[in-house]
Amino acid sequence: MRYVVVCVVKGEAGIFNNSLRKELLANFNARSSKLPAHFTINAPFEYDGEITELNKALKDFCENEKVTPFTINGYDHFGDRVIYMKINMSTEAKAVHHRLIDKMSAVPYIKFEEKDGKDKTFHVTLASKRLKPLYYKVWEYVYQYPCEFQCSFDNVTIYNWEEGTWKLYKEFKFRLY
């Protein structure tokens, strides 16, 4: 089975991202992930057994961590392949993320590449599929919308790939304080 581990971005920022992605699809046929607004914690991976160890690690981790803030401020891009909303992790949120990577790394079937480990570029994707020929139009278009949000790193969520889409497998929430 194929899984991905993310933090779902909720509230105004999540609504904004999901809405703008729909606009980009309707106006430019610019596509992105089938996941809701999120930043990736562990890129999609395959595992044939039960992910019991991962579930336990995430449950234990989230029960012992508190919600931390981050901001989204403006847009950026990876070349002409991906346009995204820029995340600025607070010192506290980054520390939680790094502890999470350490905890997940103890699970034998979890591997982190440079792009999704501790040194990742935190971002929420707007467009990433077949973007090259549309890049400049989409880049200009997103700039008409202000992009400043206060957010919370408050969940670790697993999705699995079923029937051609990502389906919610399990959400783990951090304690509130």
Residue 21 above 80 pLDDT?
yes
Dihedral angle at the C-alpha atoms of 108, 114, 120, 126, nearest 10 degrees? Answer: -100
106, 3 Cβ separation under 8 angstroms: no
The helix/strand/coil state of 174 is: coil
> What integer best gives the mean pLDDT of the chain?
95
- The radius of gyration computed from the CA coordinates of the chain, to the nearest angstrom, equals 16
Taking only the tens place, the pLDDT of each residue in 46-85 is 999 999 999 999 999 999 999 999 999 999 999 999 999 9
146-168: average pLDDT: 97
Q: What is the residue extent of each domain of the chain?
A: 2-173
Arithmetic mean of pLDDT, 40-48: 96
- CB-based contact 70:90 (threshold 8 Å): yes
- For the cut 90, the answer to whether the pLDDT of residue 130 exceeds it is no
CATH fold group of domain 2-173: Cyclic Phosphodiesterase; Chain: A, (3.90.1140)
- 157 by Cβ neighbours in 10 Å (0-12 / 13-18 / 19+) ranks as buried
Band of residue 116 on the pLDDT scale cut at 50, 70, 90: confident
How confident is residue 177, by pLDDT bands cut at 50, 70 and 90?
low
Q: How crowded is residue 83: how many other Cβ atoms within 10 Å of its Cβ?
A: 25
Q: Residue 110 has which token pair?
A: 């979890």
Whose CA is closest to 85, among 24, 146, 11, 4? 146
Average pLDDT over residues 33-43: 95
